[in-house]
Amino acid sequence: MNKNLRVPVGIFGIFLIIAITLTYTLNNLFYLVNFLYIGSILSIGIYLFVINNKYGRHLVQFTIGLYMVIFLGIILQENMQLSGFFYYLFLGVFQAAVIHYAIAKIFGPVLFGRGWCGYACWTGMVLDILPFKTPKNHERVKNLGLLRYMIFILIFIGVLILFYLNVPNLDYLMFIIFILGNLIYYAVGIVSAYILKDNRAFCKYFCPITTFLKPASYFSLLRVKNTSEKCIKCNKCINNCPMDVDMLDNRRKRKNGTECILCLECISNCPTKSLKI
């Protein structure tokens, strides 16, 4: 097989298996269409990147991100945010946001790390077009990242209280929370990007989803690795990484290793092609 096709075909294969398994298990054709669509777009985008088309990832971000937020979230009124995950989980409903979180953010990262953040997040698709692609400072603001865990806990407690109080029209309220939540995410993301001169500041300090993503991503099978024999330690990979990952270190405990979003900017900026995925 052409080496340019290996990763794209592998990604499509994973989503094909997911699509068939869920369609058969839940007897719902929607999952076949949904995951084949996502898998196809991902494969095309990654292939475009492999052949040096710099817009491949942004194509994926917008085609999947808009599908998730507009079609699933607004048209079908499924709360695809963390609040929706907790809500459907409390209801005992294994569909919608629960399946999405299980595949993209809880178990899936063991296979593909934080690929969701780099290719499908509808918040990230907007943040990545802001003018601070490369962080002004690759050192993190001390303890600011604790906010994401606090937000995670507050969302959990908030949904639990609403569920416990048996609030009327809770389905519709969760839809409103989805809309407001997205607006808040965009506002915080854009403001923090301009303050910290970093497009991905929201991801590093405020996004509650990282509570799920970071532990699983540590064991990710799909990782960027450095061929030390070719590496000249010019640090272009580190300097161009939007998530401040030390790509020179192949260990799983490398600096910010669980935050790699597989944007592959490190690979495209490596002058000796010592990085590979």
pTM: 0.89
Asked if residue 245 is part of any domain, the answer here is yes
Pick the last residue of a domain from 167, 190, 217: 217
Instruction: Single out the residue in 186, 217, 248 at which a domain terminates.
Output: 217
The residues, any chain, with a CB within 8 Å of residue 180's CB and separated by 6 or more, are none
Tokens read off for 30: 């929607």
What is the predicted pLDDT for the residue at 3?
66
Which amino acid, residue 2? N
Question: Do both 181 and 92 map to the same domain?
Answer: yes
150: pLDDT strictly greater than 70 = yes
For residues 219-252, one letter each, b for 16 or more C-beta atoms within 10 angstroms of the residue's C-beta and e for the rest, the string is: ebebbbebeeeebeeeebbbebbbbbbbbbeeee
The CATH number for 268's domain is 3.30.70.20
The answer to the question of residue 128 being in a domain is yes
Mean pLDDT of 1-27: 85
Q: Is 116 exposed, middle or buried (0-12, 13-18, 19+ CB in 10 A)?
A: buried
Considering the domain architecture, whether residues 244 and 211 belong to the same structural domain is answered as no
The stretch 218-235 carries a mean pLDDT of 90
- Closest Cα partner for 72 from 223, 194, 189, 182? 182
Same domain, 111 and 193: yes
Of 45, 207, 44, 195, the residue nearest 124 (C-alpha):
207
Q: Which residue has the tokens 């934080």?
A: 114
Q: Is residue 3 part of a domain?
A: no
Residue 86 belongs to what domain range? Answer: 78-217
Coil/strand/helix, residue 225: strand
Cα–Cα nearest to 121, from 187, 207, 56: 207
Nearest CA to 155 out of 88, 81, 83 is that of 83
DSSP codes joined into one string, 87-144: HHHHHT--STHHHHHIIIIISTHHHHTTHHHHHT-TTHHHHTTSS-SS-S--SPPTTT
Helix (H) or strand (E) holding 4: helix 3-26
How many distinct structural domains can be found in the chain? Answer: 2
Query: What local confidence, expressed as pLDDT, does residue 139 receive?
Result: 85
Q: Is residue 248 part of a domain?
A: yes
Same-domain pairing of 250 and 277: yes
Do 188 and 119 lie in a common domain? yes
Residue-wise pLDDT tens digits, 37-79: 999 998 888 888 777 777 788 889 999 999 999 999 999 998 9
Query: Which tens digits make up the pLDDT trace of 228-252?
Result: 889 999 999 999 999 999 999 999 9
135, part of any domain: yes
- Quick one: 91 and 147 in the same domain? yes
Last residue of a domain, one of 169, 189, 217: 217
Q: Which residues contact 156 (CB under 8 A, 6 or more apart)?
A: 86
Helix (H, G, I), strand (E, B) or coil at 26: helix
Task: Verify that 232 and 256 share a domain, yes or no.
Answer: yes
Which pLDDT tens digit goes with each residue over 19-42?
Answer: 999 999 888 899 999 999 999 998
End-to-end CA distance of the chain: 16
d(CA 241, CA 275): 13
Do the beta carbons of residue 148 and residue 140 sit within 8 Å? no
Same domain, 125 and 190: yes
CA nearest to 22, candidates 94, 107, 113? 94
